[in-house]
Amino acid sequence: MAKALLSLSFLFVLHALFFTTLLKPSNSQPATDANTDFIESSCKSTHYQALCVQCLSGYASSVQQDPRLLARAALQVSLDRAHDVSSYVARLSQFQGITPRESQAVRDCMQNVGDSVNRLSQSINELGQMGGQAAAGDAFEWHMSNVQTWVSGALTDENMCLDGFSRPDMDGSVKNSVRGQVEELGQVVSNALALVDRFGSRRRGAKAQP
């Protein structure tokens, strides 16, 4: 009984620490109303608008009104969140009350989230090659396709992690804890993909103008 209470206490503390260090705004300078409005307007293209504004409002002064910089900020937030979730799941493997089946699901999830980290890192690097007028026409489409493929792959990784906890006999605190973190990570990545798509559409529209 004492061991179970200790395990539950460990899980609670781990959960609390995760959420106290989650968001990392990039710039402490005050943002103008126009820059903040740009963030809020852009987030309307996402599925999780409130979360989008929450995660990206701290970047308003550095993003200003640049769709590419906003997409990059969204990807960076996603990468930071994926790193945090990866660390969280790794520490969760120390949970004393974990069953062998849960332990396997946690290990698989660590691999999935690790893959997500790699894909998001690649997408940020690829997006960096699309700044200014460096990429146009076919080159732009090639870079954009790579970014979209990697971000979509990251979403698949997160779904695969959740699939490992989908069995009905895995309905305990470990499953619920992992699901909460990974589902929110998936929402953040989904928002990032929407903002990447928005940047691509606006860039194509600007190129099409005479």
Q: Per the domain annotation, does 77 fall within a domain?
A: yes
Residue 206 confidence class, pLDDT cut points 50, 70, 90: low
**Number of domains the chain contains:** 1
What pLDDT, on the 0 to 100 scale, is given for residue 132? Answer: 55
Q: Is residue 196 domain-resident? A: yes
Q: Does the residue 97 lie in any domain?
A: yes
List C-alpha distances in Å: 16 to 21, 67, 80.
Answer: 9, 33, 17
Q: Is residue 24 part of a domain?
A: no
Q: Does 67 score more than 80 pLDDT? A: yes
Encode pLDDT of 173-185 as tens digits. 888 888 899 999 9
| 29 occurs within a structural domain | no
Q: Rounded to 5 degrees, what are φ and ψ at 22? A: -80, -55
Residue 16 lies in a domain: no
> What mean pLDDT do residues 99-127 have?
93
pLDDT mean over 11-15: 43
Give me the pLDDT at residue 86, please: 93
pLDDT of 51 strictly over 70: yes
What CATH number has the domain bearing residue 124? 1.20.140.40
Q: Which domain holds residue 192?
A: 34-208
Checking if the pLDDT of 71 tops 80, the result is: yes
Mean pLDDT of all residues belonging to the chain: 82
Q: Are 141 and 199 in contact (CB under 8 A)?
A: no
CA pair distance 45, 34, nearest whole angstrom: 18
Residue 12 falls within a domain, yes or no? Answer: no
pLDDT category of residue 19 using cuts at 50, 70 and 90 = very low
Taking a C-beta distance cutoff of 8 angstroms, is the pair 191, 51 a contact? yes
Residue 20 falls inside a structural domain: no
Q: What is the pLDDT of residues 128-148, one digit of tens each?
A: 887 655 456 778 888 899 999
